[in-house]
Amino acid sequence: MARKKKIENEIQNPLADNVHIQGAGTVKDEGITQTLKSNYMPYAMSVILSRAIPEIDGFKPSHRKLLYTMYNMGLLQGGTVKSANIVGRTMQLNPHGDASIYETMIRLARGNESLLYPFVESKGNFGKAYSKNMMYAASRYTEAKLAPISKELFEDINKDTVDFVDNYDNTMKEPTLLPVTFPSILCNVTTGIAVGMASSIVSFNLGEICDTTVALIKNPDHDIAETLPAPDFVGGGYVVYDKDELDRIYKTGRGSVKVRAKYTYDKAYNCIDVTEIPPTTTCEAIIDKIVELVKTNKIKELSDLRDETDLKGLRITLDLKRGVDPDALMTKLYKMTPLEDSFACNFNVLIKGYPRVLGVRDILLEWIDFRLECIRRRTQFTLGKKQEKLHLLQGLEKILLDIDKAIKIIRNTEAESDVVPNLMIGFGIDKVQAEYVAEIKLRHLNREYILKRTKDIEDLIKDIEELQGILDSKNKQKKIIIKELNEVKDKYSGERKSPILYEVDEFDTAVEAEIPDYPVTLFITKEGYLNKIRTANLRMSGEQKVKEGDEVDKTFECSNKDELLVFTDKGQVYKAKVDDFPDGKASQLGAYVPVKLEMEPDEKVVYICVIHEYVGYMLFVFENGKVAKVDITAYQTKTNRKKLLKAYSLKSPLACCEYIEQDGEFVLCSSSGRMLILNTGALTPKTSKDTIGVSVMTQKKNHKVESMHPYVEGEFEKAWRFRTKNLPAAGALPGAGDNAAQISF
């Protein structure tokens, strides 16, 4: 009964136990603007300044606290440790719970594939950024350590390069920024939502960023588009090039970048494998959208859809119905699904405590100023240490003049407190020097020890002069930054993961009509005329008609569904389908290729080849003796693009080119009369179309490579004279027997 009565009293008067709290239970009449100002604004400022927006070193506070904890744990070297251990230690700096700290580590880890340049090496299941279903394991099961590139985050951090502040309970110190040796803020994707503002920073290739920063240091007016072509993403995919949009991002920090998934077609199983997707989506979102389109009959070309993502990586498999054109289907899917998506850029960065939206140029200039301050502070710290050491050694040097006198002073001094003053008086040294001398062990009071210590004085004086010169010269400080950037680039940079697609046409959701498949014969003349004749009608045709002074240069037997690659003297390649040209007769001249492909008025065709499947290589032989071997897949496009820029290098005049399906031997001929047999298997294929190639045939002054043709057994009497084990080589002059055996082409 007593308990029941007490509960009833508490219900009737819930504040009865709180009467001792002043003002408890009273209602305060306050305007909403005052409440927002006193309660909400401090919270908003905390989120903006201490949580969601990255600073110039590229990190949010949660990232910085975690990485600094791992650095203090010695995880730059040695093996991995349990993630739970790291999370627990990080709570000394970041008291926001183990779950949020572990999620921060997940995103920084290599295994999660969120960052282009991850700062944490992972062991165990860290999930995947491209999949919602592939969740990470608990922290007690996984292990981690700092990645090698993290060394660049903490270089000279203990040399007063950055400020340190107390942690939340004033028990230890933590850095306000990390003295990063490269612009990490633009090398990894960073997103965050604050109060009333957000940040979304795209990632760029480390090598390109370092080159751009070096160029800006040397010339603040440098056009960054020359060294920074487009963003780069850890998940790959194609970056759709849009010059105006990229210029806007570089200038203002706002805009969007289109990223398109990468796929391959497996002819044997008649399926499409999507292996790389945009960073803004997941494989589950893509699959759900495709399933929705199939259910609404907007996509009818699929027979099955599977998520085959495993430990080897991402793979979405689309099984096609018979007769479906995979490229045409992907054209529809790019338009209707997240297989093509846009990364919205909003380069909001904290600069000296203030959020600012900056373009790439301005961010790099701010980073350069930040790094200059780090170099200055590091140099000042080192200079101070060396000056202190020099000062002590100069005092020790004076003792060297009369060691016995120093011993006598110490021995005859009655009070310990008088030792330092007596040494100061006896040798004319200051208190710091006297303290140093007084602390020397008795065994070290000999000439040999003192001479060893004082011989460093000259080196210290030189070092101090050099350090003072760095402090007095901003150019020397900039040279140090350039040297460090080049070292970072050499150590950690790699090839782009996201190839760039230039001049992408607008997509049409309508699937192209099926191209009829039948054998044809192409006649291509030297002046650029192409005549297509059905092979079945060829026997009934007469001799191919040509213009006066013209002649047939090449003849191809192919399919009407094949493609043509037409290379021009302006370093461009025009793509067309054989079906684009009408069926003709031998009595007709055919179509004039430059007009048919809408080439530029002064553009000339230098080579035409027929592609059945994108297998093999393009060989480009330049007059300077270099040969470029480009994988033919570099010219393969997923859309019906008619022209590709930078089809080959224009740095040296092109002597000739050739499409080969497999490696073989070719004869290079120089204007000097020398010839060289080249096995193309010795050349490494490149994916960059405009590669300058490698030196193959050395040329004497005023001579050049003129031609190349396939080698035929028996062409040379002593073929071994024209072969070489090492490239480049000069080749050999044909002998009398070679000329007699030479086959004409």
pLDDT at 743: 44
pLDDT at 262: 94
Residue 364: name the closest of 481, 258, 475 by CA: 481
Question: Average pLDDT, stretch 283-304?
Answer: 88
Question: Average pLDDT, stretch 614-620?
Answer: 92
Does the pLDDT value for residue 505 go beyond 60?
no
Q: What pLDDT digit, counting tens, does each position of 518-553 carry?
A: 889 898 888 888 988 888 887 766 778 888 888 888
Q: What pLDDT digit, counting tens, does each position of 622-650 carry?
A: 999 999 999 999 998 877 678 888 999 99
Does the pLDDT value for residue 280 go beyond 70?
yes
pTM over 0.75: no
Over its C-alpha atoms, the chain yields an Rg (Å, rounded) of 37
Least confident of 287-291, 503-507, 517-521: 503-507
Q: What pLDDT digit, counting tens, does each position of 214-245 carry?
A: 999 999 999 999 999 999 999 999 999 999 99
pLDDT at 201: 96
- Summary mean pLDDT of the chain: 87
CA distance 519 to 561: 9
Beta bridge partners of 710: 666
Does the pLDDT value for residue 509 go beyond 50?
no
Does the pLDDT value for residue 443 go beyond 90?
no
Residue 593: name the closest of 602, 605, 583, 579 by CA: 605
Residue 100: name the closest of 110, 90, 112 by CA: 90
Active site residues: 141
> 3-class SS at 120?
strand
CA distance 407 to 87: 56
Q: 560 and 579 in contact (C-beta within 8 Å)?
A: yes
Sequence-distant contacts of 531-535: CB under 8 A, at least 24 apart: 531/584, 531/586, 531/588, 531/589, 531/590, 531/591, 532/578, 532/581, 532/582, 532/583, 532/584, 532/590, 533/583, 533/584, 533/585, 533/586, 534/583
Please provide the DSSP assignment of 133-191 as one string.
SSPPPPTTT-EEEE-GGGGGGSTTTTTTSS-EEE-TTSSSEEESS---SS-GGGTS-EE
CA distance 26 to 28: 6
Return the ∠ at Cα 35 (arms to 33 and 37), rounded to 5°: 70
Residue for token pair 């009398």: 736
Least confident of 367-381, 443-457, 569-583, 680-694: 443-457
Does the pLDDT value for residue 706 go beyond 70?
yes
Beta bridge partners of 554: 524
Single-letter code of the amino acid located at 636:
Q
Reported confidence tier of residue 14, pLDDT bands at 50, 70, 90: very low
Peptide bond into 728 cis (omega under 30): yes
Q: What pLDDT digit, counting tens, does each position of 83-106 carry?
A: 999 999 999 998 888 999 999 999
Q: What pLDDT digit, counting tens, does each position of 22-77 carry?
A: 666 677 777 888 887 788 888 888 888 888 899 999 999 999 999 999 999 999 99
- Percent of the chain exceeding pLDDT 70 equals 93
For the chain, the residue count is 745
Beta bridge partners of 109: 120
Does the pLDDT value for residue 207 go beyond 60?
yes
Residues 6+ apart with CB under 8 A from 681: 663
Determine the straight-line distance between the first and last CA of the chain, rounded to whole angstroms: 117
